Amino acid sequence: MTEWRLPNGSVPISQTRDFQTIEQMNDGIISGINSVVGQDDVLIHLGDWSFGGFENIQKFRNRIICEEIHLILGNHDHHIENNKQGCRDYFKSVSHYNTLRVYGHTFRLMHYPISSWDGLNKGVIHLHGHCHLPTELRFGKGKRMDVGIDGHPEFRPYNLKYEVIPMMEKREIMSDMGFDHHTDELKGIVG
C-alpha cells in the first residue's frame, strides 16, 4: 500500500481528502462515481483522471460502470494527452475545453478555473475542477463552480440537471474580475 500521510502521520496542508492511503482514496472516488452514475448515463470528467502511474488509467476505467465517459484533460493527464498505448480509446472524447448545451443552458467545461469565458455576459456557466475546493468554497463569482467531488457533501459527482443547474440559475452574472470587458461602459477601451 502506498502511504498517503506524511512521515509524522499528519495530512499534507494542501490535502483536502482525509484518507489513510492512496488506495483508500481511489476506492472512495470510484465508489462515489459508481453510486450515482449508471452504465447508461454520461460522465463528463473534468480532468486528473487517475493518480499513481500509467497503469491506473485503464484500471480506473475498468472499475467505472458508466460506458460513456468524456474527459477534459487535467494537469496530471499527460499520458492520455499523448495517447500513450492508445489510452484515449478508453473515453468517448478527450479535449482540453468543451462546450455543452443541454437543458436550456450552455456550459464551458475546463479543468482549470478561468476569470472570464465566452458567453459569460449571457449567463453561460463555467464548470471546472483542479482546485479540490471544499463545499463552502466551490463557487467563484458569478456562474463559475468547481464541480470536483471534493466540493460535493457526499464526495461524489454532481448531477448536472438536479444539482448544478438549480444552484447556478440563482447566481448573478459576473466574473472574478468584477466586470466583463464586453459591457457597454468598456467598449472601445478593451478588446
Distance (Å, rounded) from C-alpha 180 to C-alpha 173? 9
pTM: predicted TM-score of the whole model, two decimal places: 0.85
> What is the model's pLDDT at position 121?
93
Query: Which CATH number is 22-170 given?
Result: 3.60.21.10
Distant-in-sequence, close-in-space partners of 91: CB < 8 Å, separation ≥ 6: 61, 69, 70, 71, 80
pLDDT for 131-168, tens place per residue? 988 889 999 999 999 999 989 999 999 999 999 999 99
Distance (Å, rounded) from C-alpha 1 to C-alpha 56? 14
